[in-house]
Amino acid sequence: MFEMCVYTMGNRSYAEGTTRLLDPGKTTSTRDLDVVLGAESVVIILDDTKHVWEKHRENLILMDEYRYFSSRKLPFKSLSELKRDESEPVLVTILEVLKRIHQLFFFDLERDDDLMGRDVRQVLKTVRAQVLKGCKLVFSRVDRNKRRWKVAGELGATCCKELDSSVTHVVSTDVGTRRSRWAVKHDQIQPRPKNHLIKLIFPNKFLVHPRWIKAAYSSWKRQPENSFVVGC
């Protein structure tokens, strides 16, 4: 399904060792580990560092850096401190994304054999834009960070500046802001006079931490909002 090339700023032995771990049967990797991107329209790059791919951002799937041992860079306990490994390995998650991209790229090839006219970068955009499709976001105390706004847009969310009944998520780091309180208020079930329970005319609203967007971007799927509660 794929041909794998390994590019590293380290030495050749490091690249070869990495290749043996990822592809012990040597079924997908090439012997040539030199920097050969080939046609940009058919190449996907997996890396945890984006600045080295400035010219190929549209080909890049940005990965979370794997950190098992404790580090000052981690704002939370490491996996070694928690005495467990990843519950959902990153490479396993990304493999499912790659399979989806592969399927879409080669879709209906029998009727349309113009493979050279296809571009995997457009497929990447299409798949990524499905992640938060249908979500409408308002930012509170974090709306100055244009990068989050841009990332949410790439994931298919609609970002706006004002609250209205169509907003589904308030993204904030402070539960006490006006917008945050609005989200909390309209996510409650209110009593009706005859002891019936009805939801407000507003659909469910979610108050989420900005990390919710980052997690969706890294995992390529919408994450449970209750895992990104503000203040926790």
Average pLDDT over the chain reads: 78
Q: How confident is the model at residue 55 (pLDDT cuts 50, 70, 90)?
A: confident
pLDDT at 72 over 60: no
**Cβ density class 88-126: b for 16+ within 10 Å, e for less:** eebeebbeebbeebeebbeeeeeeeeeeeebbbbebbee
Burial of 183 (0-12, 13-18, 19+ CB in 10 A): buried
What pLDDT is recorded for position 201?
Answer: 44
CA distance 207 to 209: 7
Give the pair of three-digit tokens for residue 61: 């799937």
pTM listed for this prediction: 0.73
What pLDDT is recorded for position 209?
Answer: 94
Give the pair of three-digit tokens for residue 39: 């046609």
pLDDT at 87 over 90: no
Q: How confident is the model at residue 168 (pLDDT cuts 50, 70, 90)?
A: very high
DSSP count for the chain of H helices, then E strands: 7, 8
Mean pLDDT on 18-35: 64
What pLDDT is recorded for position 163?
Answer: 93
